[in-house]
A and B are shown apart, each in its own frame.
Chain A
Amino acid sequence: DSGVTQTPKHLITATGQRVTLRCSPRSGDLSVYWYQQSLDQGLQFLIQYYNGEERAKGNILERFSAQQFPDLHSELNLSSLELGDSALYFCASSTQKAGDPTDTQYFGPGTRLTVL
């Protein structure tokens, strides 16, 4: 158990809908990362938050957005869903001390999103 929790575990929805994925980081971790794992794209970085602020952005679609709340949990919002958005979405957390090259990311179990 990594200490990172994600809900829900599975989500089935229809095209055009909007969903919210939730992540709670390990106790004490200030940084949260979101990754998408799909068969055709592999594992891709989406976005990172650090202590409530966006720190880095990857290949995240404009239809997707995220935020990190004062209690450090994070939500990933996916809207106008398309069939191709079906994937496993992982959240990871780390302490991310500035300038620390040994920082380790710990991953949650993931949310499997199926868009029908």
Chain B
Amino acid sequence: GNSVTQMEGPVTLSEEAFLTINCTYTATGYPSLFWYVQYPGEGLQLLLKATKADDKGSNKGFEATYRKETTSFHLEKGSVQVSDSAVYFCAPPEAGGTSYGKLTFGQGTILTVHP
């Protein structure tokens, strides 16, 4: 099955700082890759996705590029806001076999942004 290694947190930044959260994975085949975000007290929301190698997913100022050669999908944002404070999860789905579609989550990276 898949495995995911995410940058350990917590990450604390000042508003308008640059953000990078690293994610590397091992997976069977070449699945789509997802970043999910969990705001305090809420469920998971899809932040962005990339469906094939070299694809770039983007949403709300966040970007991540699917790098097949380095099996990475690092999340970046040029200027974070206080409202970005949340837990971020990298998640590749199983691409085949009996677990097709199952998401494997990284441990999550807690981001806190101060004004």
Measured as residues with beta carbon below 8 angstroms from the partner, the interface class of chain A is: 20 to 34
Q: Cα distance A89–B77 when bound, in Å? A: 30
In angstroms, Cα B94 to Cα A31, docked, is 15
Q: Which chain A residues border B101 with CB–CB below 8 Å?
A: 31, 33, 48, 55-56, 94, 96, 103, 105
B-side contacts of A102, CB under 8 Å? 32, 49, 51
Cα distance A27–B89 in the bound complex, in angstroms: 25
Please provide the chain B residues from 46 to 66 with a CB less than 8 Å away from any CB of chain A in the complex.
46, 49, 51-52
Question: How many angstroms from the CA of A42 to the CA of B44 in the assembled complex?
Answer: 13
Contact with B along A90-106 (1 / 0, CB 8 A): 10101010000111111
A64 proximity list for chain B (CB < 8 A): none
Which residues does A use to contact B, with CB under 8 Å? 2, 31, 33, 35, 42-45, 48, 55-58, 90, 92, 94, 96, 101-110
27 A-B pairs, CB-CB below 8 angstroms?
Answer: A31-B101, A35-B103, A42-B107, A43-B108, A44-B105, A45-B99, A45-B102, A48-B102, A55-B101, A56-B94, A56-B99, A56-B101, A58-B99, A94-B101, A101-B30, A101-B52, A101-B93, A103-B32, A104-B34, A104-B46, A104-B49, A105-B46, A105-B93, A105-B101, A107-B43, A107-B45, A109-B42
